[in-house]
Structure 1
C-alpha cells in the first residue's frame, strides 16, 4: 500500500532535538507492541529488493536507515552488508559489525541525519517470517532500541509480481502474548516447525510505502531507461524451478494428510484448510505469471 503525503518530502524532514526527546522517553519499554507501523521510501524498498534478488537462492543482509516517531518507523534508505549467507541462514559477523560502525561514522561526518533503525534480510522462496536465529538476532538488537527487522522474499516477489515483505519486532523475554498475531503463511515443510515454534515471540507491523520528490525523479529516470527490458522479459520461465518446488511441496503435504489416520476431525479440517490456502496461493501466483507470459508473448513474440 502506498501512502501519499500532502508534502512528499515531509517524511524526510529531521528534527534532531525532537528525535532525542522522543527516544529519551522510551515509550516502547512500557508497551511491548508500542510500534505498529512502518513507512518505507520507494528508493529504500527498491534497493533492498534488488539486493535480495541479486542474492538469488542465498540469504543476504543489510541495514536500514531512517527515524522513529510515535508508534512508527520511517525507513529512508537501505544499504547492503558484506555478509556471506547460505540458503538457510545469514548472520552478521565481525566484518559486518565493523562495516556498520564505519558506515555510521561516515554518515555522521557527511551530516546525514538518518540513524540506523533496523536490519533486513531475505528468505528466498519460503516467506516473510522470523526463524529462531532471526528472533535471537532481533532480540539482541532491540536491547539498543528502537530497532526493526524486515524480511523480504525475492523469489515470491518475482513470481507474484508484488513485493513480498514483512516488518517485525520481538517481544521481551518472558512476555506471553494472548494470541499469535502472525498471519498464515505457505511455509515449506522443512521450515514449518521453526515457523510455528517462533510465531509467539514476535509480531508484525503494518507496512506502507511513500515517494519523495527525489524518489519520483529517480524512479522515472530508471523507468525510461529499463522499461523495454522490463516489459519484454517474463518471470514465468525464470521461476520454473520455484513453481515446480511449490507443487512438489503441496503433493507431499497432501500425502502426509492422507496417511495421518490418527488425526481427529478438527485436525483433519485444519490440515485441509491449510492445503486449500496453499493451493489457492499457488494457483493465484502461477495464473498471474502465465497470463503475463501469454500477453508478452503475443506482444513481443518471444519464447
Structure 2
C-alpha cells in the first residue's frame, strides 16, 4: 500500500508538472516593506495584462482538489493566501469557506465572510503574513472558465482588493483524467476592449453552458498555471496525499462519476442532434446573378462551420470513450491487486492486468 501510494504521488507530480524549488527561493521570502511599496505603486492598475502567471503550491493545490471533490455535484468556494513575485501571483496556501453552493453557482454569505476574516486574523497571529490574493471555486463537470456571476465577482474583487486572482477547479474531469483540471483568471477593467484573443486549446463545454461561456469570454484572460513545492513541504504533502490517495483507492471513477458520464452522453446527443438539424435544413443556394462568387464563398463558410461543429462533437465523443476506458482499466487494476481468489495462494494474477492494458 505504501509503495502504491508513493508511486501514485510520483505520477501525480509528473502529470501536473510539479517543480521542486529550494526553500531559500524568493517565493518563500517575506519582505513586508517591499510588499507595501509594490501595493502603493500597483503597476497592475496601469496594465490589464500585467500578471502573466499564477504559481500554486502543491499543498494548496491538493487542498483545493480535496475540497472540490468533497462537494460534488455542488460547487464549493475557498480563499487563497499568497504574495506577488514579479508578474506572478503566488499561491502559498488555501482554505475552504463554509459555503453550500448549487450545481451551477456559489456565493459567499455573511457567515462565510465572518469565517474568512477570523481565519485570516488567526493565520496572521500564527505567523503566516501572506495576504489574501484570490479565491477559488469548482465547476463540477463543465470545465475551467468564468461564468457571468464569476466575472462579476472577480471584477468586484479586483476593484476593491486588487491584486486578486480567480481559480477554477473541475473535480469531475480531474478524477477521470488523473491530472488536475485547473484554470487561473483575471478580468479586464470595465470599458476595456481587449485585443483579439489568440486561439486557445479546445475544451468541451456543455451545450447548456455554451451561451454563458461565449458571452463573457472576452471579459477575462487566463494566466499560465505553474505548480511548485519545496523539500520542506514534502512531509505535509505526504500527509495530505495519504488522505487523498485512500479516497482515490476506495472510489471507482465509473461509479462516483456516473452522473457526470451520463450528463456528458446526454450533452453529446444534444450537440449531434443540433448539427444534424442544421445539415438537413440546409439547402444548396442557387448562384446569384449579381455576385456568384460571394454566394459560393458564403456557402463554403457555412459548410466549414458545420464541419467544425461536427469535429468538436467527435473530439467530445473520443474524450468520453477514453475516460470510460481509463475507468475500466483502473477498476481491473484494483481488482487484480487487492482481490485474493481461492486457489491463488495469495499470488497476484497478472493475466487480467495484461488484458486490460491491451484494451483498444
Q: Please tell me whether Structure 1 or Structure 2 has the larger radius of gyration of its CA atoms.
A: 2
Unaligned runs of 5+ in 1: none
Cα 1:30–1:289 shift into 2, 3 Å: same
Deviation by residue 1:25-51 (Cα, 9 ceiling, x = unmatched) = 211112111111111111111111111
Matched, 1:78 2:94: yes
1:102: how far off?
2.6
Cα 1:104–1:130 shift into 2, 3 Å: same
What root-mean-square deviation, in Å, do the aligned CA atoms of Structure 1 and Structure 2 show? 2.1
Distance 1:118 1:211 in 2: 19
Matched, 1:4 2:20: yes
Deviation by residue 1:208-265 (Cα, 9 ceiling, x = unmatched) = 1111233211233455677566446432232222222212211221111001134921
Q: Where do residues 40-189 of structure 1 align in structure 2 (5 Å cutoff)? A: 40-143=56-159, 144-181=161-198, 183-189=201-207
Q: Where do residues 252-271 of structure 1 align in structure 2 (5 Å cutoff)? A: 252-260=270-278, 261-262=281-282, 264-271=302-309
Cα 1:278–1:5 shift into 2, 3 Å: same
1:52: how far off?
0.8
Q: Where do residues 177-216 of structure 1 align in structure 2 (5 Å cutoff)? A: 177-181=194-198, 183-216=201-234
Cα 1:221–1:50 shift into 2, 3 Å: closer
1:283: how far off?
2.6
Cα 1:113–1:81 shift into 2, 3 Å: same
Output the TM-score relative to the length of structure 2.
Answer: 0.78
Unaligned runs of 5+ in 2: 1-16, 283-298, 341-360
1:295 pairs with 333, 352, 355, which one? 333
1:180: how far off?
3.1
Point out the more displaced range, 188-197 or 105-114. 105-114
SS at 1:116 equivalent:
strand
Q: Is 1:59–1:122's contact at 8 Å kept on the other side of the alignment?
A: yes
1:249 pairs with 260, 264, 267, which one? 267
Cα 1:176–1:183 shift into 2, 3 Å: farther
Q: Is 2:138–2:168's contact at 8 Å kept on the other side of the alignment?
A: yes
Q: Is 1:19–1:69's contact at 8 Å kept on the other side of the alignment?
A: no
Runs ≥4 in structure 1, deviation > 6 angstroms? none
Q: Is 2:75–2:138's contact at 8 Å kept on the other side of the alignment?
A: yes
Q: Is 2:51–2:88's contact at 8 Å kept on the other side of the alignment?
A: yes
Distance 2:114 2:67 in 1: 20
Higher relative contact order (CA 8 A, sep 6+): 1
Distance 2:176 2:191 in 1: 38
Distance 1:284 1:270 in 2: 21
